[in-house]
Structure 1
Amino acid sequence: MKGDAKLRLRHVVVEGPIGVGKTTLATTLAEHWGARLVLEKPAENPYLERFYEHMGTLGAVRGNPLALQTQLSFLFQRVEQLKEIGQPGMFEHGVVSDFMFAKDAIFAMLTLGDEDLALYRQIYRRHSAQVSEPDLVIWLQAEPDTLLARVRRRGLAMERSLGEDYLQALGTAYHRYFAHHRGAPVLAVNTEAFHPDEDSADFSRLIARIEAFEGPFEFYDPPDRPDRLPTPVQRG
């Protein structure tokens, strides 16, 4: 899918819940535009695997004893990555990332108890004032059962404990955040029947939609292509 296109925006973020296809799409967009790719690094979070293990044991979103450590580790990781993005010359060819700074706050509201959340917010506010907004957020969406199927398909061991209830709560948290969002322009994309991360024709449709984007918020819900629809059953 690589082309001669150039990214006219300095920083594009691909966001959305677990399993929606952020990293794959961000990688493809960066290659298409010849932009620098900046990905979050879950494998470098020393608490994440044990956080997921406790989630499976507890069977609940809140009450996880590793939640605060996990969220703060991600927060400090993003602070360092966004400092790197802000260095002189970084935007020469554009940047595509698979996270926005506020991502961690969305997860924190979902997983932290009241006292830990209050502490987290103090630390978050201290750093958020130094973070610049991206030029465009591409918010990928899908239903919880679709997300769960995609998570199961990629087969990461640490994600085995993730269930549909958690993914439902996470999707709701994203909707709540963007309902009150007043920052970067947002292009929301329904990926139920649209797969720009793995289908070249859908990717081309997304590029055209990005180029036509006027903002500040638009929702793109393309119908499935006729060539992908199942053949009707002939009855006789």
Structure 2
Amino acid sequence: MEKLPFIAVEGPIGIGKTSLAKAISQQFQFHLLKEIVDENPFLGKFYKNIEEWSFQTEMFFLCNRYKQLEDINRDYLQHQLPVVSDYHIFKNIIFAKRNLQEQEYRKYLQIYNILTSDMPQPSLVIYLHASLETLLQRIAKRGREFEKNMSEEYLQQLSADYELFMEQFEQTHPNIPVLQFNGDQLDFVKNKQDLHDIFQKLDQTLQKGVFSNGTSQ
């Protein structure tokens, strides 16, 4: 069986990206890349005052994700060693567009385009989505202190942003397969059969062979 070099698991906050990426890593023997979240010193302040702390928060995430992907590209992807990640750097655009003022967003986008001009694209994206009710339940269950100040409206808007972005992504990146799973219908953390079904769908895609591993546009 041929293995894809880079699988990215994406979706809104609380959907279970890290849990699924860990499971895929163990099942398929992929290197696991986890995004830095708790280490962001601005995140707690951000959820209390988004307008005041959004630029610092988004810049921290951008720089750290850039460094992580640089390291992964050098140590794994260039050697065709498979990687599964619980994010991809394109998520920065989703959050920045939602959170930054227009002038800040223009500056941010310039920096983003420079940093990601030669970043590896995912060979396959797994997109997880769910209703607001499901997301809120899962966020409450994991109990991150800084997420207690997150508003339902913000989470709902973010989910809509993801839906629009992924729709556009599939249109502009027809050579990158996107596997979508509904978190309202599947609970791959509690239900082993649900996780098996995801593995089976992923395995079927992997069996089709290695997809090109290009660079970001």
Q: Does 2:131 align with 1:139? A: no
Give the CA RMSD over aligned residues.
1.6
Q: Partner of 2:49: helix, strand, or coil?
A: helix
Structure 1 partner of 2:107: 119
Shift in CA distance, 175/40, structure 1 to aligned 2, threshold 3 Å? same
Q: Does 2:22 align with 1:14? A: no
Shift in CA distance, 7/23, structure 1 to aligned 2, threshold 3 Å? farther
Q: 1:166 aligns with which of 151, 154, 163?
A: 154
1:4-56, Cα deviation, whole Å (9 max, x unpaired): xx77111111100000000111111101111111100112212111111224x
Q: 1:76 aligns with which of 63, 66, 69?
A: 63
Report the CA distance between 1:208 and its aligned residue: 1.1
Whichever structure has more helix as a proportion of its residues is 2
- Percent sequence identity is 32
Q: Does 2:202 align with 1:210? A: yes
Q: Output the amino acid matched with 1:11.
A: F
* Contact kept in structure 1, 2:36 and 2:65, CA below 8 Å: no
Cα distance between partner residues in 2 of 1:188 and 1:168: 19
1:1-236 counterparts in 2 under 5 A?
Answer: 8-55=3-50, 64-90=51-77, 92-181=80-169, 182-183=172-173, 184-213=176-205
Report the CA distance between 1:85 and its aligned residue: 1.0
List structure 1 runs of 4+ shifted beyond 3 angstroms.
Answer: 88-93
1:78-124, Cα deviation, whole Å (9 max, x unpaired): 11010011114455541110011101110001111111111111111
Q: Partner of 2:35: helix, strand, or coil?
A: coil
- Rg larger in 1 or in 2? 1
TM-score, normalised via structure 1 length: 0.81
Structure 2 partner of 1:219: none
Work out which structure has the larger RCO, using CA pairs closer than 8 Å and 6 or more positions apart in sequence. Answer: 2
Q: Partner of 1:17: helix, strand, or coil?
A: coil
Cα distance between partner residues in 2 of 1:199 and 1:87: 36
TM-score, normalised via structure 2 length: 0.87
* Contact kept in structure 1, 2:76 and 2:82, CA below 8 Å: no
**Bigger CA drift: 159-168 or 6-15?**
6-15
